Amino acid sequence: MQENESVKGRGISTNMLVIPFVIILVFLHIVIVLLIRDVNHSENVLFNQMQQCSDFQQDATNIQAGASILSETATSFILQPLTGDDETNVGPLMTYVQELDRDRRGPEMAERFRQKAISAEAQALIDDAAAVTEQMAEIQTHAMSLVRSVYPLPPVPELSSLPEVSLEREELAMPEEARLGLAKSLILDKTYSQLKYTLSQDIENCHRILQEEFERSTAAGERHISLMRTVIWCVMIATIVLLISIFLVLRKWLIAPLRNSARLIESGQKLEEHGVQELRLVARAYNGLLLRRNRLEAILRSAAETDSLTGLQNRYSMEHSLIDSSPESGSLAVAVFDVNNLKQTNDSGGHKAGDNLLRTAASCILECFGDEITCSCYRIGGDEFAAVAYNCTEEEFKNRIRDFGLCAKREGISVSVGYAYTDHAGDNSFQVLMTEADKRMYEQKRAYHEANEAD
C-alpha cells in the first residue's frame, strides 16, 4: 500500500494528463479553422489576380484596337477622299471622331496603368506604345489636313472636333495632286508602317510580361494553398490519432503495462521510457543506465574516430561519415595530402620532430579546410591526409588548396597535394575522386622528388 502511494506521489497522474490532451485538441481545432480561412483568402487572392491580369491585358489590347481603328479610318479617308458621287467621304471621319471620344487613347491608358502600379517593365512598354499612338495620330492629322485642304469638309457638326494642323507655306503652295500624293505617302510610307509594327510588338510583349507575372504569382499562390491543405490534413490526422490515444491507449494499453514495466526494470530488465506517472520508477533506473552507456559510447567513439597525434578525424571516421552522409547529388571535392620528407625528418631529428611535422601539416589542413559544415579533414595514413568538401564550386576548392600552399610555405613544410572534383556526386563518386586525387598527388610528389634529385 505504501509502495503504491509512493508511486502515485511521483509525476502527474493519468487524469492530469488528460487536461493537456484537451488543450492540444482545442489548439488543433483552432489551427484547422485558421488554415481553412487562410486557404479561402488565398483562393480569393488568386481569383482577383486572374481578374486583374485579364483587365490589364484587355486595357493593353484596347490601346492597340483604338490605334488600329484610327489608322484604318484615317487611311480610308486619305486613300478615298471622295465617294462615287464626288462628295466628301465623311463616313471614315465620323468613325474617326467617335473613336477619339472613347477613353482608350494611348496616353490616357498609360496613366491608368500607372495608377494600377504594374511592373516597371510592363509600364515601360505601355508608355512606349502610348508614345507610338501619339506619333501615328500626328501623322494621321497631318495627312488628313493635306486632303482637307483639297477637299474641304461639309458643315457636319459631328466633324467639328476632328483635329487639324496648319500646313506649311510650302505645302499650301503645292498643286492639289501633289498634296494628295504627300498625304498618301505619309500614311503608306515605311515610317508609318514601322510605327504600327512597333505598337504591335509593344502590346504583344506587354501581354507576355503580364501573363508571365500572373503565372508566377499564381504558381506561388497554388503552392501556398497546396501546402496549407497538406498541413490541414496533417492536423486532422494528428487530431484523430490523439483521440484514439486518449480513449484506447491510455485506458487500455498503457497504465497496466507501465506499472508492470516498473517492476521489470527493478529486476534488471530493459524497457522503453514513455513518460507517464506509472513509468517514473522505470525512468529512474533506465536513465541511469542510459547515461552511463552514452558516456561510454562517447569515449569509445572518440577513441575510434579521432587521430590522437593530430586531433583530426581518422580513416574510419571518414568512411563512416561518407556512408552516413554521402550526397546523391550536388558537388563533391576530395583533396589528398602527403607530407614530404617525413622519413628524413625522423632520421635527422627523431620521431618527435616527425610528429611536429605531421602536426604542422594537420594544422594547415585544418586552417584551410576545416569549416565542419561543407568540408571535413582526416588523417588517413602515416603521412597522408584528406579533405572532403560538399556543395562547393571547383574554384572555391582550388582557392582552399592555394591557401593551404601559402600556409605550408609560411610554416616551412612541403606537402604534395592532389585533388578531384565533380558537379554531380553519385554512389561511386567518392571512390573515383579518391583514386583520381591520389594519382594527382603522387604525380606532384614524384615531380617534387625529381626536382630535389636534380638539385
Report pLDDT digits (tens) over 312-322.
Answer: 888 888 877 77
| CA–CA dist 31, 25 (Å, integer) | 10
User: The C-alpha cell of 426 is what?
Assistant: 553519385
Higher pLDDT, 172 or 275: 172
Report pLDDT digits (tens) over 365-415.
Answer: 999 998 766 788 999 888 999 999 888 899 999 999 999 999 999 999 999
DSSP 159: G
User: The C-alpha cell of 388 is what?
Assistant: 572532403
C-alpha dihedral over 256, 259, 263, 266, to 10 degrees?
150
Q: What is the CB neighbour count within 10 angstroms for residue 425? A: 19
Output the pTM of the full model.
0.45
Q: Which sign, positive or negative, has the C-alpha torsion 140, 142, 145, 149?
A: negative
| Domains recognised in the chain with CATH numbers | 13-267 (no CATH), 309-454 (3.30.70.270)
Placement of cell 502527474 in the chain: 12
* Cβ(310)–Cβ(367) below 8 Å: no
pLDDT > 70? residue 135 = yes
* Cβ(129)–Cβ(195) below 8 Å: no
pLDDT tier at 8 (50, 70, 90 boundaries)? very low
DSSP-assigned letters across all residues of 222-272: HHHHHHHHHHHHHHHHHHHHHHHIIIIIIIIIIHHHHHHHHHHHHTT----
pLDDT, mean over the chain: 81
